[in-house]
Amino acid sequence: MLNNIGLPGLLLIAVVVLVLFGRGKISSLMGEVGKGITAFKKGVSDGSKELEDEQAENAKDVTPQEKDKV
């Protein structure tokens, strides 16, 4: 169903949305979407950093220990 929309259909939908909500409301909505995407990316990077830190703490030390030299 969505494959048959085409460019004229998309333009018609855009015009209807613009008329219903107004330019200011759409602008503020897009700003909020941008902030949400930024917060999501920050959360993902913070989560992966926490996992890397946790793995670094749990890593075993495999360096050979030196024996007492005489």
**pLDDT by residue, tens only, the chain of 70 residues:** 567 788 889 899 989 988 988 888 888 888 999 999 999 999 999 988 988 888 888 776 667 777 766 5
Judge whether 31 lies within some domain. yes
Label residues 18-34 b or e (16+ Cβ within 10 Å = b). Answer: eeeeeeeeeeeeeeeee
Judge whether 27 lies within some domain. yes
Judge whether 14 lies within some domain. no
Q: Quote the domain boundaries for residue 45.
A: 23-55
Whether the Cβ atoms of residue 26 and residue 18 lie closer than 8 Å to each other: yes
Judge whether 33 lies within some domain. yes
Tell whether pTM > 0.85.
no
Q: What is the pLDDT of residue 2?
A: 61
Q: How far is CA 38 from CA 29, 44, 47, 52, in A?
A: 14, 10, 14, 21
Give the chain's domain count: 1
Judge whether 49 lies within some domain. yes
Judge whether 29 lies within some domain. yes
